[in-house]
Structure 1
Amino acid sequence: MRILHLLASLDPKAGGPAEGVRQGGVTLMEMGHEVEVVTLDDPGATFLQDFPLPVHALGPSRGNYRYCPRLVPWLQSHASQFDAVIVNGLWQYHSFGAWRALREVDVPYYVYPHGMLDPWFKRAYALKHLKKWLYWPWAEYRVLRDARAVLFTTEDERLLARQSFWLYRATEAVSTYGTSAPPQNDVELRESFLLEYPQLRGKRVILFLGRIHEKKGCDLLISAFANVAGLDGDAHLVIAGPDSAGWRSTLHEQAERLGVAQRITWTGMLQGPLKWGAFYASEAFVLPSHQENFGVAVAEALGCGVPALISNKVNIWREVDADGAGFVAADTVEGTEKNLRRWLTLDTECHAQMSARARDLFKARFTVDAMSRDLLRVLEGESFALAAGP
């Protein structure tokens, strides 16, 4: 097949979709398919230089909406060269532009919402949701309605998507998500990370890796960690990720106020060997998120044999819980504290057993090979179910 991925940006700071396109695209090409990418980035963006797939950068785009006048003409001229177009994400011009260009073209398009229809956003950002309602009927509603299929990465994501807008009509399919297996030189990667952050040597590292954003529950994590820090003087929290919302200074003040600032290391965004070294240097991975349609970092942690301490708003929590690959609780201070407390009081033998189960879960469900095979199943003619909103 010839597959075209479309997304607003390939900037790794924007979150998981860009990495999913990269890894999934490389795997599909290794399987003999052709994959190209259209993005609204400036062609001179540095993060495009080493991207492993053919990229058509049509930007620069304008504003947060990423309006790009070249998108629709480009798709109208080139879409017929592909068997399928996959739109990654909503609420920016690339999704509406795809609908404008493809609604009367005999090329099917598919949409990955990537959690952007979760009702948590409606509750957390009521004013933004009202603005989205003004946009929804003539834009994103049509994008979903006319797609060959809307692809949800979990059953929970599919069901939650129906709750955000009563005007909802989509042909739904669940297509599993995944990520590449971690590198196996774990000792070398762990040592490199500890050389970069020597204060962590000998500590019981608990790792948060993701965007520093309200929806990730970073404030809950700091409060919960303060409540359990007395259980073990070697417990140390690492918070790794870009400060996408300018929130880090507030979280620093919170940690100072609660007396745990010296037991938290902030690394900023980690990539490549340092990212994998952080996983291998950690006892557990923690994500008390209020909303997470999949959680690539959770899957990466499991692949490294690092058990996951997550909220029940991370949509793969059922698999983690059922397979005993971590602990699950509510997205509250109390729930996050419960997960941390259970981990810190667990004995060494139980740690090892849970680590083995984490690896087994990753291999069984969350590899990029499984993701690619499942996507092909959908693109090659799976029958779908039409769903309407309440």
Structure 2
Amino acid sequence: MKILQVSPAYYPAISIGGPIFSMLELEKQLIAEGHFVDTLTTHLGLTEAEKQQQPLDSIINCSEQNRRIYKRFYGHPHYTFSPSTLIWLMRHVNEYDVVLINGIWNFPILAAAIACRIRNVPYFIFPHGTLSVDAVSLKRATTKAVLLALFVRRIVKGALRVVFTTRMEERKVLAYIGGRVNAFVLPNMVDSKEFQHLPARGNFRARFGVAPDVTVLLHYGRVAKVKGVIDSVRALAAVRERIPNILYVIAGGCEPNYRQEIEIEAKTCGVSENIFFTGLLERSEGLRALVDADLFILPSVSENFGMAVVEAMLCELPVLISDNVGISFDVGKARAGAVVTLTPDGKALASAIVGLLLDETALRVLGQAGRRFALENYDTPAVRSQLLTMLALV
């Protein structure tokens, strides 16, 4: 088949977070199955140097089966208004057998859905966790409510399938939009080959001056309000009473102004010296962080899947996640990680962190179980049959 991916941002825009890597892995698997895949996107999330390497309005031939087209956008990056994207789609969308639309609230998504409906081309929509009341309430909720009523609900219900990464995401979306949709669950895929030969322990600590005897809690990935980083900061004050030599490493690019909020909260809680920001890390440095940490924590308010969780598990790093994370039920059921229900006072999270860190045997067993679970459920070969089932719907 000839497949078109449409997304407001694409690799190498790693500052966007997990969806960038899940889209890239899906693209790789589609190509491996013999399909031709083009990606239509914008410069959203790219550095100035990366923009120079991805010229606008040009077809970039990545391989014989894979091309990318970058279009200019105007105005606020959250909406990526791009008239040239709509024009391109109206001219070319009927050259494809199916379109994979990634996201909900950006202009390219509206443009792709309109073009598909006019040209009678089937499309799948991948919401990537953006279409639930939890996610919507964090940013521009009123605007999104208007957009939902005007066109989003119709776009979603007109899809050949709405592709969710977990059943939790499906339930949340249906509760938010009201009514039913044609749903399909396809977990995010991770290529385990990247995690077969991990860096030696100690490289990350040496680079950032973290002593070997310091206990490291790790947040890895996009640093946003939805990720519950401030909840971790509040819990840290109680954790430090039991484990004084502790450091909360926050590894990833921050939402605008959010770092300042975290720092203010840390100062209020008296744990400023126990927090360290690395900024956005290159992929190789991210793996070093995962290898050197003692516990990965993700107390998200809303998380459709949890790519960073899977990556941590593949590094045999024990994980502690909230029950708002999409894969939390399966992780807890398999005892592949610890799952906590968040409380307003943060005591449940703090207690869970302390309980794990004071039991080295439990940590080791949890890390080993997590790696097995990730390989069995999210490695590319494990998800292949579900992907083929989805494509057979076209």
TM over 0.5: yes
- Residue 129 of structure 1, CA deviation: 2.4
Please state if 1:116 is matched with 2:130.
yes
Q: Deviations over 1:24-49 (max 9, x none)?
A: 21232233222221002279964464
Query: Equivalent pairs: percent with the same residue?
Result: 26
> 1: distance between equivalents of 2:95 and 2:356?
52
Amino acid at match of 2:5: H
SS of 2:202 mapped into structure 1: helix
Question: 203, 207, 217: which one pairs with 2:228?
Answer: 217
Amino acid at match of 1:163: A
Is residue 318–residue 364 contact of structure 2 (8 Å, CA) maintained in 1?
Answer: no
Question: 148, 152, 157: which one pairs with 1:145?
Answer: 157
> 1: distance between equivalents of 2:246 and 2:257?
27
> 1: distance between equivalents of 2:70 and 2:154?
25
> 2: distance between equivalents of 1:61 and 1:39?
13
Please state if 1:356 is matched with 2:358.
no
Counterpart of 2:16?
Answer: 14
RMSD (Å), alpha carbons:
2.2
SS of 1:293 mapped into structure 2: coil
Amino acid at match of 2:285: L
Counterpart of 1:3?
Answer: 3
Counterpart of 2:42?
Answer: 40
1:291-310 correspondence to structure 2 within 5 Å: 291-310=302-321
Distance change >3 Å, CA 354–CA 121, structure 1 → 2: closer
SS of 1:381 mapped into structure 2: coil
Is residue 329–residue 338 contact of structure 1 (8 Å, CA) maintained in 2?
Answer: no
Counterpart of 1:233?
Answer: 244
- Residue 208 of structure 1, CA deviation: 0.6
1:63-142 correspondence to structure 2 within 5 Å: 63-64=76-77, 65-124=79-138, 128-142=140-154
> 2: distance between equivalents of 1:287 and 1:44?
27
Is residue 195–residue 314 contact of structure 2 (8 Å, CA) maintained in 1?
Answer: no
Q: Deviations over 1:335-361 (max 9, x none)?
A: 321321221221x22222111101101
Is residue 95–residue 140 contact of structure 1 (8 Å, CA) maintained in 2?
Answer: no
Is residue 86–residue 110 contact of structure 1 (8 Å, CA) maintained in 2?
Answer: yes
Counterpart of 2:57?
Answer: none
Moved more, 78-87 or 213-222: 78-87
Q: Deviations over 1:106-156 (max 9, x none)?
A: 32110001111112135555xx32222222233211211211110111011
> 1: distance between equivalents of 2:99 and 2:185?
17
Is residue 24–residue 371 contact of structure 1 (8 Å, CA) maintained in 2?
Answer: no
Amino acid at match of 2:239: V
> 1: distance between equivalents of 2:293 and 2:245?
12
Amino acid at match of 2:249: V
> 2: distance between equivalents of 1:57 and 1:30?
23
Give the TM-score normalised by the residue count of structure 1: 0.90
1:188-199 correspondence to structure 2 within 5 Å: 188=200, 190-199=201-210
> 1: distance between equivalents of 2:34 and 2:135?
39
Amino acid at match of 2:347: E
SS of 1:57 mapped into structure 2: strand
Counterpart of 1:337?
Answer: 350
Moved more, 259-268 or 279-288: 259-268
> 2: distance between equivalents of 1:329 and 1:350?
16
SS of 2:339 mapped into structure 1: strand
> 1: distance between equivalents of 2:80 and 2:242?
48
Amino acid at match of 2:185: V
- Residue 105 of structure 1, CA deviation: 2.0
Give the TM-score normalised by the residue count of structure 2: 0.89
Counterpart of 1:386?
Answer: none
Structure 1: 5+ residue stretches without partners: 383-390
Is residue 141–residue 169 contact of structure 1 (8 Å, CA) maintained in 2?
Answer: no
> 2: distance between equivalents of 1:311 and 1:351?
17
Aligned positions, number: 377
- Residue 82 of structure 1, CA deviation: 2.1
> 2: distance between equivalents of 1:145 and 1:123?
22
Counterpart of 2:68?
Answer: 55
Distance change >3 Å, CA 109–CA 46, structure 1 → 2: farther
Higher relative contact order by CA 8 Å / sep ≥ 6: 1 or 2?
Answer: 1
Counterpart of 1:202?
Answer: 213
Q: Deviations over 1:297-345 (max 9, x none)?
A: 0110011111210000001001111111221112331232132122122
Is residue 308–residue 320 contact of structure 1 (8 Å, CA) maintained in 2?
Answer: no
- Residue 162 of structure 1, CA deviation: 1.4
SS of 2:69 mapped into structure 1: strand
Question: 280, 304, 319: which one pairs with 1:269?
Answer: 280
SS of 1:77 mapped into structure 2: helix
SS of 2:353 mapped into structure 1: helix
